């Protein structure tokens, strides 16, 4: 296994910056179930099922997500009825009326993430209620950007359904985990362990 050599403070800073540049790719890479750099609708479906989404939600979301993002991530290529999403170009599929936590190059903007909770997490500083999430979505709307509104609502609605705790709160750590993809991995592992325990 190759080892990463970091020889100076500048190298270390550059390494962390490189990680930040790939955060949006990490966010979607969970759904690349065969790790080939391309996400097909059936992989999106499998990924959603793996984190606890029902069959109906997984089916609808897989079609909605892949149909909406495929063409944008394949610039210059002929449209495909298989609706593949190319991870290397995922920043090109960034929609409007979003939170702004990813910049136009797919990098994570920590200050924007903190602002989001400072402005909208009014009941608890480290969590969003359902009503606060609605207010967040409304505040991010660009006038007459109807497609952006729908995309943002769909993303956050699925996240809220799958990520809220027993009190209906969407925790800050969970949202942060969505942005870098780690929450999906943790959810899949938790469900896998629960199934193993039930079958043992």
CA–CA gap between residue 77 and residue 198 (Å, rounded) = 47
Q: How many residues does the chain have?
A: 200
Residue numbers in the chain where pLDDT is lower than 70:
1-21
Q: Mind spelling out the 3-state secondary structure of 54-106?
A: CHHHHHHHHHHHHHHHCHHHCCCCCCCCCCCEEHHHHHHHCCCCCCCCECCCC
Q: Where are the domains of the chain?
A: 15-180
| Segment 87-144, tens digit of pLDDT | 999 999 887 778 888 887 888 889 999 999 999 999 999 999 999 999 999 999 999 9
């Amino acid at each position: 296994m190759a080892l990463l050599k970091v020889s100076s403070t500048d190298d270390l800073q550059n390494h962390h910056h490189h990680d930040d540049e790939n955060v949006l790719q990490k966010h979607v890479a969970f759904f690349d179930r065969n790790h080939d750099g391309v996400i097909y609708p059936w992989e999106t479906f499998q990924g959603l099922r793996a984190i606890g989404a029902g069959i109906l939600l997984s089916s609808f979301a897989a079609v909605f997500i892949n149909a909406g993002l495929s063409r944008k991530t394949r610039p210059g290529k002929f449209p495909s009825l298989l609706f593949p999403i190319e991870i290397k170009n995922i920043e090109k599929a960034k929609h409007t009326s979003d939170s702004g936590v990813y910049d136009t190059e797919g990098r994570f903007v920590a200050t924007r993430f903190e602002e989001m909770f400072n402005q909208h997490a009014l009941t608890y500083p480290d969590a969003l209620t359902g009503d606060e999430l609605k207010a967040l979505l409304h505040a991010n709307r660009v006038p007459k950007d109807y497609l952006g509104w729908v995309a943002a609502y769909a993303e956050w609605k699925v996240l809220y359904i799958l990520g809220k705790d027993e009190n209906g709160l969407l925790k800050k750590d969970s949202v942060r985990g969505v942005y870098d993809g780690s929450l999906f991995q943790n959810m899949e592992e938790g469900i896998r362990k629960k199934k193993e325990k039930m079958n043992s």
